[in-house]
Structure formats: C-alpha cells, structure tokens
C-alpha cells in the first residue's frame, strides 16, 4: 500500500449508510406504511445515489475493486430507480414503466447482487447478510410486480418491504460497526470476520469492509 493510500479514510461507512438508510426509507413505503413521495426520490438521488458513487470513487483510489464496483453500481442504481419511479409519481403514463420492464430490471439487479454476494464469502458475515438479503429483496420485488395484487392485497410487496427494511438495517449496522471499531481500535460491534482469509494477500482481503 502506498503512503498516499495509507492516509485515505475508510469510505465504506459512508457508502453503507447511504445504501442502508435509503433502502429502509423506500421499503417502509413497500411495506405499506405510507405512499411514495419526494422524500424517497430526494434520498435516492443524493444520499443513496451520489454519496454511494463518491464512496465508490474513494474505494477506487484505495485499489479496492469490490468496494468500487458495489458502491458505484448501487449508487447509479438508485439514480436510475428515481427516473423509473418518476413516471408513476408524476402521473406521466407515457414514461411509466411496464410491469414486465420493471420486473426484468429488478431481476437483473438480483443476479448482479447474487454474484457480488459470492465475493463477500471472503470478507465478513455482516456483509454476507447485506448482499444475500438484498438479492432476495430484488427477486421478491420482481415477483411482486408480476404477481400482486393477490385478492386485492399486495402480499408479496409487503413481505418484500419488511425484508428490505431488514436489509437496509443490516447495512446500517455494518456501517456503525466500521465507524465504532475504527474509532475505538477494537471490535465494539462484531461483523464476523472470515478468519480463513484474514491474512490472504488478495484484493478481497483488502476490501474496506474488513
């Protein structure tokens, strides 16, 4: 690691908090607690979107391919999602996505997230929970777009919302653990290090979520 890289702050908590808080906010809507409004869109553009891209660029400067790919990809995902949702929110039927289109969109992101989850098997358990629950969330939402409503109720959508709140909360937990463990110089909140790879001189071993 170069002297310049050694002085860089850990960008992972920023990216994880941006992802986690925005995911919780959207899935409170998916769970049926309130209607979709501009609070979700604003968070999606600036915190879930822009802040994650910034975190990804910082991971790039650190030489962390996994962190760069994850944060930049999900940051840009949030930005695209805002545009996808705008058609419905503004009542612009010409720009509203079709059920098949949004289902395909969510399914593809589910596969991408599953591939990233496989990469977390060399990192830590907390990160594995984030990516596995996010994979399930994408696929539940894709199914919801095709199947719901069931008997007039968005059953799968509600289940997806609850699962999404858990996913976002797990990312927030990991972010807080990264901050506290770094500040206090010890494990205040456990993240489940994968000890078999703790000393592996690989790129994955250098991930900021270690």
According to DSSP, residue 95 is labeled G
The answer to whether residue 140 is domain-embedded is yes
The answer to whether residue 4 is domain-embedded is no
Torsion of CA 193, 127, 112, 168, to 10 degrees: 180
User: Which token pair is 8?
Assistant: 């860089």
The answer to whether residue 20 is domain-embedded is yes
The answer to whether residue 181 is domain-embedded is yes
Whether this prediction's pTM lies above 0.75 is answered by yes
Per-residue pLDDT of the chain (210 residues; tens, 9 = 90+): 455 546 789 999 999 999 999 999 999 999 989 888 889 999 999 999 999 999 999 999 999 999 999 999 999 999 999 988 887 777 666 677 788 899 999 999 999 999 999 999 999 999 999 999 999 999 999 999 888 676 556 889 999 999 999 999 999 999 999 999 999 999 999 999 886 544 433 333 344 444
Domain containing 51 equals 10-205
The answer to whether residue 3 is domain-embedded is no
Q: Give the Cα separation of 10 and 162 in Å (integer).
A: 30
How many domains does the chain divide into?
Answer: 1
Per-residue pLDDT tens over the stretch 4-47: 546 789 999 999 999 999 999 999 999 989 888 889 999 999 99
The answer to whether residue 62 is domain-embedded is yes
According to DSSP, residue 150 is labeled B
Cα dist from 77 to 50, 52, 105, 112, 147, whole Å: 10, 10, 10, 11, 23
The answer to whether residue 116 is domain-embedded is yes
């Amino acid at each position: 690691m170069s002297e310049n890289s050694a002085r860089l702050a850990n960008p992972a908590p920023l990216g994880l908090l941006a992802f986690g808080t925005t995911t919780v906010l959207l899935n409170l809507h998916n769970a049926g607690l309130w209607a979709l409004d501009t609070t979700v869109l604003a968070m999606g553009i600036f915190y879930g979107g822009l802040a994650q891209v910034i975190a990804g660029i910082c991971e790039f400067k650190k030489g962390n391919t996994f962190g760069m790919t994850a944060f930049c990809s999900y940051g840009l995902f949030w930005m695209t999602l805002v545009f996808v949702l705008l058609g419905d929110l503004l009542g612009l039927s010409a720009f509203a996505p079709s059920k098949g289109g949004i289902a395909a969109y969510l399914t593809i992101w589910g596969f991408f997230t599953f591939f990233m989850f496989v990469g977390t098997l060399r990192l830590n358990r907390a990160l594995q929970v984030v990516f596995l629950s996010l994979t399930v969330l994408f696929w539940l939402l894709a199914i919801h777009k095709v199947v719901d409503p069931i008997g007039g109720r968005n059953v799968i959508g509600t289940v997806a919302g609850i699962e999404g709140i858990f996913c976002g909360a797990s990312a927030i937990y990991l972010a807080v653990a990264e901050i506290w463990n770094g500040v206090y110089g010890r494990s205040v909140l456990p993240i489940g290090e994968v000890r078999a790879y703790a000393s592996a001189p690989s790129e994955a071993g250098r991930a900021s979520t270690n």
